[in-house]
Amino acid sequence: MRERFDIVIVGAGFAGLYMLHRARKLGLAARVFEAGSGVGGTWYWNRYPGARCDVESMEYSYQFDDALQQEWRWSERFATQPEIMRYANHVADRFELRKDIRFNTRVVAATYDEAAKRWTVRTGDGAETSAQFVVMATGCLSSTNLPDIKGLESFAGARYHTGEWPHEDVDFTGRRVGVIGTGSSAIQSIPILAERARTLTVFQRTANYTVPARNAPLDPDFVARIKADYPAFRARNSLQINAFGSNMPRSAIPARELSPEERRTALEARWRYGGLFFLGAFGDLLLDPAANDEAAEFVREKIRGIVRNPEVARLLSPRQIIGCKRLCVDTDYYATFNRPNVRLVDISETGIDEVTPRGVRVNGTSHELDALVFATGFDAMTGTLLRIDIRGRDGRTLEDAWRAGPRTYLGLSVAGFPNLFLVTGPGSPSVLTNMIVSIE
């Protein structure tokens, strides 16, 4: 027999947890399906060493309940993955959300019945659930991207993906480890893997800009000041273009109105402050190519100052626009390449020839490895949605509706799919913003 609900919510990450809470407030009978065995979404899966949020912890949290935001204590400026998981679990317990969540249950299909004006949601165990509304709180970074590299399956060592990291600790002591990718996940994990592994070989296709986090324990006076004024602090953040960072807002002054010394001072101040605020050094840093070039060259100069081997520094220096691809935030990333056990392999021209049982071959040279870490990102935004067989009016699939690209209304709904809603999908503010704010 089909269970019936008013609303089915897919995913128990921050979007799904909050949606469940809201649905209850609206008096809707709700059921959440979650593929993982616990809450937390992207933070549940991304347990790689060094995983940490790059939005400050006093802001990367829910604001819908003042008692919640007053009682929760963050320990560092930027929260670690384990701490964010503790927070997600605390929220689930505090609002008694678990009783409406079915864990270890993956949604495989959702079909709209025009006559009944209801959705039938099918899960991996074959069960069907009927609901008037379906909310896809599936996250935009939840289906991992494992590149199709020749020989991949032949590798005799251990293989990991940052986005599907094992729940138990992985011991890299004495092992020769390779990392493919230099995105945010790689940049966070490489300094820690380098400390643990015998050798670390980083295979880089595109160098990425990263700025220091300047992470530190939270100052109790700072926390007290924010908590004394939390609603107003949230309101100020909501007026920032990315919904965070009112403590260090984007400069209103364009670079061209500053002298070279003033521009330098502005960049230095942001570099010292740490975090994504770097991109706010000039009002036009993301609009004027000259302003952008100057900020990019500033970072390249920092890389040359940190990395002792000039050839490695050159390879680590990105050439693209800074802030086009999301900026990364790190702790000791560039300095890690000064370690004697760390090697950078440039694959920008050649790619990877193949993975062999003993390691990775690039341009004819074999790199012997005991473990291979894929920090190769996700089938982002649309991937997870398209893996579910979603059929709207007249049996039309979402895949068909999005053949020419993912079109949505405000990132929330899709024409022809009545009462099916997206939270962080294509067209939503998503990773360009403080996601918890956008989710709420």
Residue 232: how many other CB atoms lie within 10 Å: 11
Q: Report the distance separating Cα 102 and Cα 96, nearest Å.
A: 14
User: Interface with ligand NAP includes 302 (CB under 6 A)?
Assistant: no
Q: Contact with ligand NAP (CB under 6 A): which of 52, 77, 161, 270?
A: 52
- Interface segment toward ligand NAP; rule CB under 6 A; list 99-107, 179-187, 296-304, 401-409: 179-187
Q: Report the distance separating Cα 141 and Cα 161, nearest Å.
A: 13
Q: Which residue number places its CB atom closest to ligand NAP?
A: 183
Q: Contact with ligand NAP (CB under 6 A): which of 82, 124, 147, 289?
A: 147
CB 396 within 8 A of CB 406: no
Tell which positions 331-350 bind ligand NAP, by CB under 6 A: 347
Q: Report the distance separating Cα 170 and Cα 153, nearest Å.
A: 20
Torsion of the alpha carbons at 142, 148, 151 and 153, rounded to the nearest 10:
30
User: Interface with ligand NAP includes 326 (CB under 6 A)?
Assistant: yes
CB-nearer residue toward ligand NAP: 130 or 144: 144
Shortest reach from residue 346's CB to ligand NAP, in Å: 11
User: Interface with ligand NAP includes 142 (CB under 6 A)?
Assistant: no
- Quickly list DSSP for 388-415: SEEE-GGG-BHHHHTTTS---BTTTB-T
Residues 6+ apart with CB under 8 A from 9: 16, 19, 20, 23, 30, 31, 32, 33, 134, 135, 137
DSSP annotation of 440 reads: -
Pairing type for strands 118-123 and 107-113 reads: antiparallel
Residues in a beta bridge with 378: 144
User: Interface with ligand NAP includes 281 (CB under 6 A)?
Assistant: no
In the shown chain, the binding pattern of residues 368 to 407 toward ligand NAP, with x for contact by CB under 6 A and - for none, equals -------xxxx-----------------------------
# chain residues binding ligand NAP, by CB under 6 A: 23
- Interface segment toward ligand NAP; rule CB under 6 A; list 66-74, 178-186, 265-273, 412-420: 178-186
Q: Report the distance separating Cα 352 and Cα 271, nearest Å.
A: 34
Shortest reach from residue 364's CB to ligand NAP, in Å: 17
Q: Among 300, 305, 295, 303, which Cα is nearest to 267's?
A: 295
Residues 6+ apart with CB under 8 A from 59: 237, 244, 245, 434, 437
Shortest reach from residue 411's CB to ligand NAP, in Å: 16
Shortest reach from residue 162's CB to ligand NAP, in Å: 6
- Interface segment toward ligand NAP; rule CB under 6 A; list 95-103, 182-190, 268-276, 363-371: 182-190
User: Interface with ligand NAP includes 213 (CB under 6 A)?
Assistant: no
Shortest reach from residue 184's CB to ligand NAP, in Å: 4
User: Interface with ligand NAP includes 205 (CB under 6 A)?
Assistant: yes
Measure CA of the first residue to CA of the last residue in the chain; give whole Å.
34
User: Interface with ligand NAP includes 207 (CB under 6 A)?
Assistant: no
Given the rule CB under 6 A, which residues bind ligand NAP?
Answer: 52-54, 141, 147, 162, 180-186, 188, 205-206, 326, 347, 375-378, 431
